[in-house]
Chain A
Amino acid sequence: MATSKTLGESLRQHGVSRRGFLKFCAATASMMALPPSMAPAIAQALEKARRPSVIWLSFQECTGCTESLTRSFSPTVENLIFDVISLDYHHTLQAAAGDAAEHAREQAMNTNAGEYLVVVDGSLPGPNANPGYSTIAGISNYDMLMDTIDGAAAVVAVGTCAAFGGLPKADPNPTGAVSVQDLVKDKPVINVSGCPPVPMVITGVLAQFLTFGTLPELDEYGRPRAFFGQSIHDRCYRRPFYDKGKFAESFDDEGAKAGWCLYRLGCKGPMTYNACATMKWNGGASWPVEAGYPCLGCSEPDFWDAGGFYKALSVPTGSPGDVLLTAGAVGAAVGVGAGLMSRNQGKQAAKHHDKVTADQLEEKL
């Protein structure tokens, strides 16, 4: 529940130094593409911010997103920021269970009506699907979401499942899974996609909400532009190898060992917008491409069905070689047939030519 303690007080209580806090504010400012002069403003606003109530709904998900957030290098400022928001309902993290847990959610909704944030993690069976695929306390995901967002200030869809449907929505989508933005039309929805998303991104979005009371600028997919504004490919440290045409051809060849571009191994960096290449993972230790693994494009809609993780982006999904061969063979056969027919026609016509003598022609004059 929201308490009167400010964020600044909470952080100090958790032993975060002023210096550490300001560093976080400067990093947040730069992440949000704000001038460095905004860092003190962020610090000031965050210091005074009251703990906002957050209701975290977990639907058809794997808890990976929660893992990503809570197990990010502990203790970090992000972690503490997360501690000091009032997380009033979260299956994995809350102590309460059963009826008490649902009661906590309802109470948070009533106390903070119109002000609380709803974080959704996971996709949910759509209104036309069988609601039995995912229920909590006997309530269908759909009903719970619609009920909860009623008094929400905004909805944050964390992870690709919540943002775009993710794995549950992958072909053939047996549960009729849909994303949050498919259902929520009258509240602002911020998509923090990724499988899982970079922890700093979710805290960045929360920090902006706390600092300015506003929601971040969003891209075409409803993702915060500050974090999803540039492609993995454009920020990749292996990009010079792509431009030079130096590629790893397999996972253990000389190119792979030399750290060359992974495009030919199926890297989806060119179509993927995320902050991995700049923020990295595990406290800035590394990220998939740095570990020698091609980007899967996990922050993009329908990435599971985007034509194979290990196929280069420009490679067609069907079997064009066979099509080309078949169509070519048929074409050649038909062409030869048509040519021979025309040739025969010509011969027949020549055979039936009436011979005309000069005298006959003169007679006609």
Chain B
Amino acid sequence: MTPMDFLLLTKGPLFSLAIAIFALGILIRLFEIFALGRAHNYAAARGNEVIPGLKTMYRRFNPDPGTFKRSTFDVVVGTLWHVGFVIALLMFIPHIELIKSTLGVSWPGLPNPVVDAVTAITLLGLVAVLIHRLTHPVKRFLSTPQDYLIWAVTFLPVLTGYLAYHRLINPYPLALGLHIFTVEIFLIVLPFTKLTHIFTAFVARYYNGAIFGRKGIQS
């Protein structure tokens, strides 16, 4: 197989397969959660559910002071690389082109040098959290093989993207093909691992906020 064959395979059939598995998997999980619903609450509602639910979806981005004090590293580095990952994913022009061709929506991107710098920070952040996980005794004890798996499938697309952009793998179709391939692994693994938190985190936050809202208390 030539590098161009590999690139065309990853851009064509493999990409279709990956997003099919991704869409199927994630929507089965989400709709199952929605269809299950929640246990009926017989107590009289003291407040609205929807507004506090939506508010909490946003409010949980701010760590509470206790968590920040106890796990400063996790909060700072965790936020840093998550934001970096999202910027690199959604603000890089070739990515926007891909989203436009797939979903039909687009938005202006950031200049490449900015995305490049953000990607470098993201990579360093991801390496730092792995080192922290391996050296921190409690974290290490709590880590399962899946934690390392999802670290790897998250790290690889960022790394290969960085290498492709800087042309550190030759020939270029191989570099781009590898990047797309690692993204496909990420998409396939996503619905069946902790990576579902990308979607379920917001569902959980909403339910949390809604429960508190119904009770008429702040969340």
Residue among A221, A316, A330 with most chain B CB within 10 A:
A316
Give CA–CA (A220, B171) in the complex, Å: 7
CB distance from A56 to the nearest CB of B (A): 27
> Which residues in B have their C-beta under 8 angstroms from that of A13?
none
Q: How far is the CB of A234 from chain B (nearest CB, A)?
A: 8
Return the contact of A314 from the options B19, B26, B97, B103 (Cβ within 8 A): B97
The secondary-structure label for the interface of chain A is helix
**B36, A343: Cβ atoms under 8 Å?**
yes
- CB neighbours (8 Å) of B111 from chain A are 243-245
A336 CA to B13 CA in the complex, in Å? 28
Q: How far is the CA of A271 from the CA of B174 in the complex (A)?
A: 10
Is B23 at the interface (CB under 8 A from chain A)? yes
Q: A315-B101, A318-B15, A342-B36 are in contact. Are A270 and B109 (CB under 8 A)?
A: no
* Chain A residues within 8 Å of B23, by CB: 323-324, 327-328, 331
Are A301 and B4 neighbours in the complex by a CB distance under 8 Å? yes
Q: How far is the CA of A231 from the CA of B171 in the complex (A)?
A: 11
* Chain B contact residue count (CB 8 A cutoff): 51
A335 and B27 contact, CB distance less than 8 A: yes
C-alpha gap A328/B36 in the complex (Å):
19
- Determine the distance from Cα of A271 to Cα of B4 in the docked complex, in whole angstroms: 10
Which one of A45-53, A140-148, A305-313 contacts B?
Answer: A305-313
Report if A320-B101 is in contact (Cβ < 8 Å); known contacts: A300-B173, A339-B36.
yes
What per-residue 1/0 map shows which CB atoms of B11-25 lie under 8 Å from chain A?
A: 111011001111111
For the complex, would chain B's binding face be called helix, strand, loop or mixed by DSSP majority? helix
A243 to B115 Cα, complex, angstroms:
10
Does A331 lie within 8 Å of B24, measured CB to CB? yes
Question: Given the interface contacts A336-B31, A338-B35, A339-B35, does A263 sit within 8 Å of B93 by beta carbon?
Answer: yes
Partner of B97, one of A220, A300, A307, A312: A312
Q: Which of B32, B98, B113 contacts A338 (CB 8 A)?
A: B32
Which residue of B is nearest A305, CB measured? B8
Q: How far is the CB of A254 from chain B (nearest CB, A)?
A: 15
Which of A219, A247, A323, A330 has a CB less than 8 Å from the CB of B19?
A323
C-alpha gap A306/B103 in the complex (Å): 22
B110 CB to nearest A CB, Å: 7
Q: Is A332 engaged at the interface, CB distance under 8 Å to the other chain?
A: yes
A271 to B5, CA, bound (A): 14
Does A320 contact B16, Cβ atoms closer than 8 Å? yes
A300 near B4 (CB under 8 angstroms)? yes
Please report the C-alpha to C-alpha distance between residue A331 and residue B33 in the assembled complex, in whole angstroms. Answer: 13
Which residues of A lie under 8 Å from residue B217 when comparing CB positions? none
Instruction: Pick the most buried of A219, A234, A264, A339: most chain B CB atoms within 10 A of its CB.
Output: A339
Distance from A195 Cβ to chain B, minimum over Cβ atoms (Å): 15
A237 part of interface (Cβ distance < 8 Å): no
Quick check: A324 and B103 within 8 Å, CB to CB?
Answer: yes
Are B104 and A321 interface neighbours, CB within 8 A? Answer: yes
B contact residues around A102 at 8 Å (CB): none
A92 within 8 A of B: no
Q: Taking the complex as formed, is B167 at the interface, i.e. its CB lies under 8 A from any CB of chain A?
A: yes
Please give the distance in Å from A164's CB to the nearest CB on chain B. 9
Partner pick for A243 among B11, B15, B113, CB 8 A cutoff: B113
Not counting A315-B98, A338-B31, a sample of 4 additional A-B residue pairs whose C-beta atoms are within 8 angstroms of each other reads A323-B19, A324-B102, A339-B35, A339-B36
Q: Can you name 23 A-B pairs with beta carbons within 8 Å?
A: A219-B170, A242-B112, A263-B93, A301-B3, A307-B8, A314-B98, A316-B16, A321-B102, A324-B19, A324-B20, A326-B20, A327-B24, A328-B27, A331-B24, A334-B28, A335-B28, A335-B34, A335-B35, A336-B31, A338-B28, A338-B31, A339-B31, A339-B33
